[in-house]
Amino acid sequence: MKLMATLLCLFCSLSAFALEDWKSQIIADAKTLYTEESIREFSKPIEFTIQEDITAAASARHDFDKLTVVINTGLLNSSRLTPDSFRMILCHELGHLFGGAPRKNVPPEWDGPVGSDGMSLMSSEGQADYYASSACFKRILTLEKHSSKIDLKRAGPALKKKCQVIAKKEGKDFEICLRSALAGLDFLNLVRDFPISCEHEDKTVAKELIRDFYPDRQCRLDTIINGTLCSEVLPLSLHPFDDSKNTCVASYALRPKCWFP
């Protein structure tokens, strides 16, 4: 069944767009999770807007009067988009808004608000990935109305071994761990298949913090997996200045050195 975007005026600011039920529900779940948090943390509303753009992507903005997650029609139309990868994509964009430090430098063309330290209000790409799996994805799954049919057989032995560190095999937490990691894999392979795997790790040590651009794709997947392995319940809004407060404590759940040396 298709729902017309005119029935979803909370989410759409452009022309009517046919949205499948599961996609509109995931957007609604994200809005439910973050509406009060946005007001509490920033005294601003948060909006989820669909933009007519063929690029399979989403983005986030922190303006003077509101926070916005922009979802391109190209992303919603992608045949490679799954419910869990869509959740992870939204969580990544929310991570830019709520993920805290380390944050980006202010782009030269930006004329919106900045932090009191002169930095952008947007978290770095690596931090947004880490936030997505450690703070957001598990929470948004709790709002799932019907369990998605996930092919967990795709999970290899190395990933299963990692998840068994924090969860009993075959239990619900174990399944969530696998789902989160595989959602990260599908998110990073949204455009096409890249040579990345949940069975390998990027052993590179960055010379300095990668703040203003994307880490390598395997590094990003490692970041999502490490966040998945976080057993602590991180707050929905992380510290804007002190990046030492925005991490889990277990060695296997730290932000990887390939972007956070």
* 261 within domain boundaries: no
Any domain includes 21: yes
For the entire predicted model, the pTM comes to: 0.92
Domain assignment present for residue 111? The answer is no
Containing domain of residue 215, as a range? 2-106+117-253
What does the pLDDT read at residue 143? 93
Examine residue 259 and state whether it is found in any structural domain, yes or no. Answer: no
SS3 sequence of the chain: CEECHHHCCCCECCCCCCEEHHHHHHHHHHHHHHHHHHHHHHCCCEEEEEECCCCCCEEEEECCCCEEEEEEHHHHCCCCCCHHHHHHHHHHHHHHHHCCCCECCCCCCCCCCCCCCCCCCCECHHHHHHHHHHHHHHHHHCCCCCCCCCCHHHCCHHHHHHHHHHCCCCCHHHHHHHHHHHHHHHHHCCCCCCCCCCCCCCCCCCCCCCCCCCCCHHHHHHHHHHHHCCCCCCCCCCCCCCHHHCCCCCHHHCCCCCCCC
Is 217 within the bounds of a domain?
yes
Does residue 152 lie in a domain region? yes
**Does residue 197 lie in a domain region?**
yes
> For the segment 101-139, what is each residue's pLDDT rounded down to a tens digit?
999 999 999 999 999 999 999 999 999 999 999 999 999
In-domain check, residue 112: no
Per-residue pLDDT of the chain (261 residues; tens, 9 = 90+): 433 333 344 444 444 567 999 999 999 999 999 999 999 999 999 999 999 999 999 999 999 999 999 999 999 999 999 999 999 999 999 999 999 999 999 999 999 999 999 999 999 999 999 999 999 999 999 998 766 667 788 999 999 999 999 987 778 899 999 999 999 999 999 999 999 999 999 999 999 999 999 999 999 999 999 999 999 889 999 999 999 999 999 999 999 999 999
pLDDT at 178: 95
Domain count, the chain: 1
